[in-house]
Amino acid sequence: MRSGVLTAAMLILLVVAVPVGAQAARSSPVLILGKAGGGFDERATDQARCRAIAEQAPVEDLPQAGAHASASGYAADLPTAVGGLIAFAIIAAIDTSRARGLATAFCLTNLGYVGIPLTPEESRTYAGLAGRDREGWERTFLAQDLKPRIDPLVTPSVPPLPPYRQQTGAQGGLKVELASLAVSEGPFKSGDRLATGKLTHWRKAVLSAPFETIAGPIQLSGSPGTMFHQVDYRPQRAPLLRNQGATWCGPVVEKSQGQRSTQLYCFTTHADGYEPFRPTGYDWLAGPYRDGIVLPRFTSPMVLEERGEEDADTIDLEVMAVQINASRVTLAAYAKRNNRSIRIWGRTLTFDQAGEAILPLWSHRLLIRKIDTSSVSATIDELGDGQSWREGD
């Protein structure tokens, strides 16, 4: 599935595009939202599901405010008919409802939907229909075998980097060693360390062939044998609002204005290339995406071969109470090595009527009890429900 191509967004925003002018409307292709093996009723159900997810999402999780929502990134993924319009919407932050429409489209692409261009003859027929006749035409269109028409639209132009993989205790390339978790001595106030443990950097991969970027003022090159690690800092609570292309980070040579240096860069898979960015953090772990510098995509193949878990190494984990008040506790997790730390996760929990808040930790859980409006106690047990410490997982 072409995770980066937001063709579904075109259909949702076509009404917005009408004021651009009649000529633009005539030159834009007619698109029908569909996926292989899916029919009209399934599409309606998925559209309702995605609208509900978008409506319930906090503003910071919407595309125009999300970690992967650079205007250039979205515009590059869309045909020029509406790409500029969407870029304008993101840059100007026109309104939240527009952002929720784009989030709905992103959700639908993650469910496998694409905008299928109609032939000129189909377009003329479709334009002459209305109401039930148009619905009937769409039902017939979506009931046919659409795979031959969809496959050329979704075939990646570059080999994908190793995809995200789920495992108990893991987020991205880091795995919490659950048996190592221990609670510090309380009571705890804002800024205190609640718990400690160990992280295993369990997913690594080696660059198997050289690559070099050529676009933009900064060029990057990688040498065979360079070790990369995976990260997953996608902040969206709902998995269907997250970019599905995996992100891998490692040291590469950066060339700019005649200067050369080795820098840590991360690369995210898109169907039409890789998006490089220079994050904060260190060679042993990159910092979150939102803190980095994004560069233009490059389309040369980048091939990573994943290594076995025997190459795993250990990093210290600290869970901090960032803020405590009468109704909530905000937590953050930090990866630490050699007195350096990187924030890898955060979450706010609301106390229930009994004054308790539970952080799921897969097979374990962190139980936090309110003592008063500014302090808590905490315990860890093995009564987890299988959920991760991220909402939505």
Q: How much is the pLDDT for 183?
A: 96
- If you average pLDDT over residues 69-85, what whole number do you get? 30
Provide the token pair at 367.
């139980």
Q: How much is the pLDDT for 217?
A: 87
Give me the amino acid identity at 301: P
The answer on pLDDT for 201 being more than 60 is yes
Q: How much is the pLDDT for 80?
A: 26
Looking at residue 98, the DSSP 8-state letter turns out to be H
Q: How much is the pLDDT for 278?
A: 92
Question: Is the previous residue joined to 120 through a cis bond, with omega within 30 degrees of 0?
Answer: no
Strand intervals (E) in 132-272: 170-171, 174-183, 188-189, 193-201, 204-207, 211-212, 219-222, 227-231, 247-256, 259-270
Residue 83 contacts residue 13 (beta carbons within 8 Å): no
User: Which alpha helices (DSSP H) does 144-261 contain, by range?
Assistant: 147-154
Residue with tokens 């901090």: 320
> What is the model's pTM?
0.81
Element (H, E) at 314: strand 314-324
Element (H, E) at 139: helix 131-143
Provide the token pair at 23.
């000529």
Q: How much is the pLDDT for 91?
A: 39
Residue 193 contacts residue 184 (beta carbons within 8 Å): yes
Residue 139 contacts residue 42 (beta carbons within 8 Å): no
| Angstrom distances, CA of residue 238 to CA of 65, 153, 241 | 15, 26, 6
Query: Of 234, 233, 230, 246, which Cα lies nearest the Cα of 311?
Result: 230
Residue 292 contacts residue 312 (beta carbons within 8 Å): no
Mean pLDDT of the chain: 84
| Angstrom distances, CA of residue 208 to CA of 158, 167, 226, 345 | 15, 25, 8, 31
What does the longest C-alpha to C-alpha distance in the chain come to?
73
How far apart are the C-alpha atoms of 172 and 166, rounded to whole Å? Answer: 8
> Which carries the bigger pLDDT value, residue 363 or residue 67?
363
- pLDDT tens-place string over residues 351-366: 999 999 999 999 999 9
- pLDDT bin (cut points 50, 70, 90) of residue 311 is low
